[in-house]
Amino acid sequence: MAHEVAGVTAGHPIRVGISACLMGEEVRFDGGHKHDSYVTGTLGRYFEFVPFCPEVAVGLGTPRPPIRLVHHEGGVRARGVKDPTIDPTEDLIAYGRSVAEQAAGFAGFILKRASPSCGMERVKVYRENGHPTHDGSGLFAAALMAELPLLPVEEEGRLGDPVLRENFIERVFLFNRWQRVVAEGLTPKALVRFHTAHKLMLMAHSQEAYRELGRLVAAAGSRPLDELADQYISSLMVAFRKKVSRGQHLNVLLHLMGYLKDHLDPGDKAELLDAFETYRAGRLPLIVPITLLRHHFRRHPDPYVESQFYLMPHPDELMLRNTI
């Protein structure tokens, strides 16, 4: 399965929702945009973006008076900054739920940070005294995420963090692979094969989830498949939200090295261990020990390792492991 990563995505772009301003559409309140060249240029080679602008969609127009989130009677509402009679709260929430229905086949969503409609988290919410807290979510974004809790969602600003960027894109590719398995007709055998191919990735994210989901998949064939599959993908996507530390990656690297124990001479073993330790100490990116392992597994193929997505969870051209 692992060898499919680049080929499948090249032929079948992965659908990802996005705030329209990030695509360069002039839909901001001031008539401008927030075009993100990394998103459209780099990720656009693999993702088919579907843009949405909630504020335009609910009829606020472009340009338009800006809105902000405010605390009001124990809740949060969107109000006009200068004209508080402007209140698209219910419309933005309803639109988020409507888009969630359209986005059921999406593999991810990229939102505009700090937006009162699209911000994922840490959005300003103003108190009556005019002072803001930074604990809100955009109304459209909150409704979307509530309706699609498994969908990988991220803000464009956070994609500047190498670890968060790799985590999000890894989850998008993972969720897309799951959607393909379901679309092709989920069977107990297909579920076991999918889980097996992601074991080492799961081991890196969470040892606890690794054990829990192993027990769950062992019940395939003896429990209703739809119920088991829903529980499986829910737990899997939650586990993959956890960032992977260098120590956790090191555990998997050492585990993989064990499959080469009968093939490494003392020099090869020393070279690998040195690369692992230098990576753990933060002086090398993950791609270096990964590349060394790939080299050895090309010389000494192992069927189990070949089935794993850990060594190539997303296309190398994205260079996500070159900076973590």
pLDDT, tens digit (0-9, with 9 covering 90-100), for 154-189? 999 999 999 999 999 999 999 999 999 999 999 999
β-pairing, 153-155 vs 14-19, is unpaired
Tell me how far apart the alpha carbons of residues 109 and 63 are, in angstroms, rounded to a whole number: 25
Residue 5 has pLDDT above 70, yes or no: no
* pLDDT (0 to 100) of residue 11: 57
* pLDDT (0 to 100) of residue 3: 47
For the segment 254-272, the average pLDDT, to the nearest whole number, is 97
For the segment 59-63, the average pLDDT, to the nearest whole number, is 96
pLDDT level of residue 210 (50, 70, 90 thresholds): very high
* pLDDT (0 to 100) of residue 9: 45
pLDDT level of residue 312 (50, 70, 90 thresholds): very high
- Phi, psi (deg, nearest 5) at residue 19: -65, 130
Closest CA to 169 of 276, 292, 44, 19: 44
Rg (CA), the chain: 22
The tokens describing 125, both together, are 């919410």
Tell me how far apart the alpha carbons of residues 48 and 10 are, in angstroms, rounded to a whole number: 11
* pLDDT (0 to 100) of residue 221: 87
* pLDDT (0 to 100) of residue 6: 41
* pLDDT (0 to 100) of residue 319: 97
- Which residues 6+ apart lie within 8 Å of 209 measured at CB? 202, 235, 236, 238, 239
Euclidean distance between the first and the last CA atom of the chain, given in angstroms as a whole number? 24
Q: What is the average pLDDT value for the chain, to the nearest integer?
A: 95
Residue 145 has pLDDT above 90, yes or no: yes
Residue 1 has pLDDT above 60, yes or no: no
How many other C-beta atoms can be found within 10 angstroms of the C-beta atom of residue 85? 6
Residue 55 has pLDDT above 80, yes or no: yes
- Phi, psi (deg, nearest 5) at residue 70: -135, 145
Per-residue CA distances from 26 to 19, 48, 95 (Å): 11, 20, 20
DSSP 294: H
- Which residues 6+ apart lie within 8 Å of 139 measured at CB? 54, 69, 76, 78, 89, 92, 93, 96, 116, 117
* pLDDT (0 to 100) of residue 37: 97
The CA angle 77-78-81, to the nearest 5 degrees, is: 130
Residue 295 has pLDDT above 70, yes or no: yes
- 185: helix, strand or coil: coil
β-pairing, 108-111 vs 47-52, is unpaired
